[in-house]
Structure 1
Amino acid sequence: MAGTVADQLVEVIEQAGIKRIYAVTGDSLNEVNDAVRRNGNVQWVHVRHEETGAFAAAAEAELNGIACCAGSSGPGHIFI
């Protein structure tokens, strides 16, 4: 396992077969964003609104069976 909690989270996400995380950079997700950059096998897809990330992840899940959306506060927490 990697060093930080964020590194471990991204490692588990990668092991689950997730290729992309749809999210807004900032707030409590900065460490996760940095861990994704260090990992190199998972892509951080920046969206302008957390609800957009939820919609994008839902579409990807329909196509590929699995997806990830990260939200720190706001509509992203209440969408799905």
Structure 2
Amino acid sequence: MFAKHRCSNFDMSSKMFLGDGVITCHGTINCRLVFVYSQDFTALGGSLGEVYAKQICKLIDTAIDVRAPIICINDSRKS
């Protein structure tokens, strides 16, 4: 269910995290379809890797196809 990174550099192959660093969804605001994605600081500091980028790109492509706006929530607080 959750996306998993494939990085083996920097000893990352031994570091697996529960949860996703990017969450994507769609819904309506005032009866208008919108697409939303959020990057979570608590998962690898909110870093963007290949798998997370693919999730975001798929959301963007879908939103463009149906001409719907995109909302991005980026939590980038200091550790």
Structure 1 and Structure 2 fold alike (TM over 0.5): no
More helix by share: 1
More strand by share: 2
Query: TM-score, with normalisation over the residues of structure 1?
Result: 0.31
The structure having more radius of gyration, on CA atoms, is 2
- TM-score, with normalisation over the residues of structure 2? 0.31
